[in-house]
Amino acid sequence: MGWAIVVALAAIAGGALWKWGRLPRSSFEPIAAALLLGLAGYALQGSPNLPDHPVKPPEDLSKAKEAEIEIRNQMGQQRFGTGPSWLMAADGAMRAGLPTAAVAYIKSGLKQNPRDPDLWVGLGNALVVHSGGMVSPAATYAFQKAAEIAPNHPGPPFFMGLALAQSGQFAQARAIWTELLARAPADAPWKADLEQRLAQLPS
């Protein structure tokens, strides 16, 4: 019974995206991959025959992850094409605890869109998670590549600063965020969040 429900939900989600999502055909591949990833995760970890015993995830961590996705969407420059679809697939992999799959999805997207700064930012974020929260040279390169493609894009310095702050490199994070805040438009939707994060950095 559990399998039937899961497969039905996946089919409904895919059908709804196909019928009402108004997505280009090129985006079907990453969306299908995300749905199949969910089914694979259920196959590996699901136990439909066991009685219900819901476990609530840590609220602060889940909210933080969703908040970062929201900020990335606010800062994103590309609203059309396949880039956002690959990021959606990567977000699904991250939620499932599969950062390796998230990195693979974004790399596939970069093969199609090598000049998409949002994908490079997403790759940097995924590589940080993949390396256990450390800012690896590969992640640094991804953030720098995004900044090179779009010098005025707030995403690269914001998420580079976030990665540094989360790894305990507070002085470097403060320097990057202070510079970003100085050039932030007054009506930027992410400005208040950046001000709050700067104020919370340990001195």
**Which residue's entry shows tokens 């019974």?**
1
pLDDT 10s digits, 85-97? 888 888 888 888 8
* Nearest partner of 27 among 78, 101, 95, judged by Cα: 78
pTM > 0.75: no
Predicted confidence band at 125 (pLDDT cuts at 50, 70, 90)? very high
Distant-in-sequence contacts of 64-67, Cβ < 8 A, 24+ apart: 65/94, 65/95, 67/193
Q: 91 near 73, Cβ under 8 Å? A: no
pLDDT 10s digits, 139-179? 999 999 999 999 999 999 999 999 999 999 999 999 999 99
